[in-house]
Amino acid sequence: MAVFLPQCIIVKPDSEKKEMEGKWESTLLANLAGVDIIEVYDIPLKLRLTITEENEIVELLNLIEIDEEQSGEVCFCAGSLLLRFKKQSLKIEDISYYYPSRFRWKNGRWPGDAVLTPSSKSRIENWFRQRKLEPTSRTEQCR
């Protein structure tokens, strides 16, 4: 059963979270192996940036560190940015960024939103800023 909390966040059952224990990052990175394009969109889907340089793709993936203890909730907000990962122009995964500290793997294996560690949060914010992407909170759109 879901429990509604402030800012329209619900808590997923612990059993689903337990199944992914210790696997949040590795599962995502395994699915993104070989990705050669990242497209970054505003929400609603307006393309803001396309990344094809391997070093930039690797840099972003290396910034992702997930605090599994804090992860697992789901917010019904629209999110701030969408990162579309592609391999040879075919979409592999969509990951939504929820400013300031979460990712959601659309149709992925995570049992809820992945909360970034404080250091990862800071480094990813800087990564976005360096590319002139300024994600903002969209919690006002919660339903």
**142: pLDDT confidence band, cut at 50, 70 and 90?**
very low
Mean pLDDT, residues 36-51 = 93
Residue 56's CB is within 10 A of a number of other CB atoms, namely 14
Which sequence spans correspond to the domains of the chain? Answer: 4-133
SS3 content of the chain, % helix, strand, coil (to 5): 30, 30, 40
Mean pLDDT, residues 62-87 = 89
The identity of residue 108, as a single letter, is: G
Torsion of the alpha carbons at 37, 112, 70 and 7, rounded to the nearest 10: 100
What is the reported pLDDT for 13? Answer: 56
Mean pLDDT, residues 96-113 = 86
What share of the chain in percent tops pLDDT 70?
A: 80
Strands 81-87 and 37-42: antiparallel
Does position 53 have pLDDT exceeding 50, yes or no?
yes
Kindly report the pTM of this predicted structure: 0.83
The fold of the 4-133 domain, in CATH, is Dna Ligase; domain 1 (3.30.1490)
Q: Which residues make Cβ contacts (< 8 Å) with residue 22, sequence separation at least 6?
A: 68
9-11: strand order across its sheet = 4-5, 9-11, 73-75
